[in-house]
Structure 1
């Protein structure tokens, strides 16, 4: 697999504390993190960071955190409006801020999910007119983007909008508005508002629908002038692994827009597969869904192929696994960890990819008479050590020259 698109070759110019070239000096360059976003939803961080857990639960969560930080550099925090602001005017801002601060302290890039979604919309919207619902939605976007400006710089602006106007499982305010305004107008107003409030943030259109309907919607948005920073694609595979052919097909169809892609919610079960006749995964309700040895082997093999396929595509910038531990959404064995926090084969194989196969080994190099050297590595965060001094730097795309000073 050609991974040149993940690499960068750069010429370094290293200066001593006097600003002169550091000649004929041995240096050591070590990778510290990936530029690529390897992520997982981090909902368990919220009660932990707010000290809401008793000693036993906190100790268990610390096992989760250790496993999480061992391979991931990216996380998604829950901003589902109905849970974030169940009572109008009383959002859980401080609680989520503590979680975001915890993530920031642990070098995790944070994405907020989502700013708008018909599912888990607050019940109090139902008492409002369509105009009042939309005013509340826009107000919510402005408030939260500003409240979290220093902590969260990536957001799913709107989630699963392909189905939003046709959603009929229960009444909710946002479906009403989508029916009245139309999807593209809803999306444009949300993106325009978001980009005005936080012009440096990354804003994502996210959906589980990978059919032509989502492509048509994206096309319509672009024609309407919507500036989509990333296309979010969910891939919940409770009913079976997509396989290489479907994965490549999805990549081909959605890469035609030339917009960076994030695979925003990835699941693969390590037990029996969900029956294929369920159209809505949420309809499959079971009390016990165990992981099996055969299922874990299958999950690991599928994880390796899926991640390699995505990482090999130049437009994919991030992959987020959904639920690190078994027994979360739908009670499914879709974690990379079992319920006792022990790693499954899929966890170990993914760690090998992220921290070994796709990781640049520490290299010892020597500057020339001009204080220069050449280095090629996986794009990301690095440190350069010279005797007792250490300098951090980023290896970024098209960064042909890097100047570092010991001053």
Structure 2
């Protein structure tokens, strides 16, 4: 475990008393304590879990996707699944509930935390909303939230409730039902309605407001929502850096500005390419469409350095709870950008190895401790789930902040 001087907020101490099945202290024994799962959420988009879990594809296709997900599972403990309305329910009344449930279950069974993205968004809204009045669109959106949040309770309990609201009422690229109702309700109004409905359907869910706009406009929106009593659990910040790495100065400036709300921060959609940078004059990233965007050795080394610095800055910040890289692999990414940890053939890039080393080595805890005459041991480690091993016997426990009592474990 390294870099502990900056990580006091990621570390806790614990005292454990080991006893045998008869309740006698297990004295003078060497015990291994190994972190098996971080409390911090290190994630990626895991859309490929959908075809893998439901066996949708040829044996060759599934073998490729399974290889990709094996590399994902070896490092990451958090996944985002796609709930884009036009793809989740292209025909009204026929949502892909079973397929997404299978994917969420597949991930949960592997101890991966799952987030649904998003419940409300003007882009990729269901096209059939356009045939409705605003009143009917609002009802359909409420019905969608009630159905999906209820159907996925216990599988998906974290949601990007509403996405990119700063631009939502003025979005004019194409007509869509959600922009229509956001114009009518206003930004704070539509957020309040959607959060209230989601909280009603799953009171224990973690609810995010998510945006790519990191200007003062997003701060003003968040402030307005909190003043209006909107139950925002987490502020979601997108960090698509197709035009170049933000760098330490901008990252720390964004962290400072959004920290003053005192809410947890999730970096929900991170992109750093391992290819050339998108030209700076492009205002809407979606406007940059090229036939091929290759990953190159030189840019892969740069990507690894930038990823390592960014992850370290974020992990060192006490309010940041999650970092999700938007791509695991360069096969079919957003805008064709080579922004994954893996190349198109699933071979790991330097960034994969760099982030794996941070998560699995620098920010991990694997120690050997000896129990005293009373079977008691104490240790300090990174927050998360642990396995205790002694002479082939195992026990599991969780290390978290604020625990002061001695925990008794039976070996």
Query: Residue 97 of structure 1 corresponds to which residue in structure 2?
Result: 101
Counterparts of residues 208-357 of structure 1 (less than 5 Å): 208-326=212-330, 327-357=332-362
Gaps of at least 5 residues in structure 1 are none
3-state DSSP class of the match of 1:384? strand
Counterparts of residues 10-159 of structure 1 (less than 5 Å): 10-159=14-163
Q: TM-score, normalised by structure 1?
A: 0.98
In 2, the alpha carbon distance for the partners of 1:179 and 1:255 equals 29
Tell me how many residue pairs correspond in the alignment: 406
Pick one of 146, 161, 164 that aligns with 1:160: 164
In the alignment, is the contact (CA less than 8 A) between 1:19 and 1:405 conserved in 2?
A: no
In 2, the alpha carbon distance for the partners of 1:13 and 1:256 equals 40
In 1, the alpha carbon distance for the partners of 2:28 and 2:309 equals 44
Q: Deviations over 1:207-266 (max 9, x none)?
A: 000000000000000000011111000000000000100000000000000000000000
3-state DSSP class of the match of 1:401? coil
In the alignment, is the contact (CA less than 8 A) between 1:138 and 1:193 conserved in 2?
A: yes
**Is residue 382 from structure 1 mapped to residue 386 from structure 2 by the alignment?**
yes
Q: CA RMSD in A?
A: 1.2
In 2, the alpha carbon distance for the partners of 1:356 and 1:66 equals 19
**1:19, distance to aligned residue in structure 2 (A):** 3.2
Q: Deviations over 1:27-48 (max 9, x none)?
A: 2211111110000000111111
Tell me which moved more, 393-402 or 51-60: 393-402
**Is residue 366 from structure 1 mapped to residue 370 from structure 2 by the alignment?**
yes
**1:200, distance to aligned residue in structure 2 (A):** 1.4
Gaps of at least 5 residues in structure 2 are none
In 1, the alpha carbon distance for the partners of 2:406 and 2:302 equals 44
In 1, the alpha carbon distance for the partners of 2:297 and 2:147 equals 47
Q: Deviations over 1:331-380 (max 9, x none)?
A: 1111111101111111111111011110112x221222333211101001
**1:402, distance to aligned residue in structure 2 (A):** 4.2
In the alignment, is the contact (CA less than 8 A) between 1:25 and 1:367 conserved in 2?
A: yes
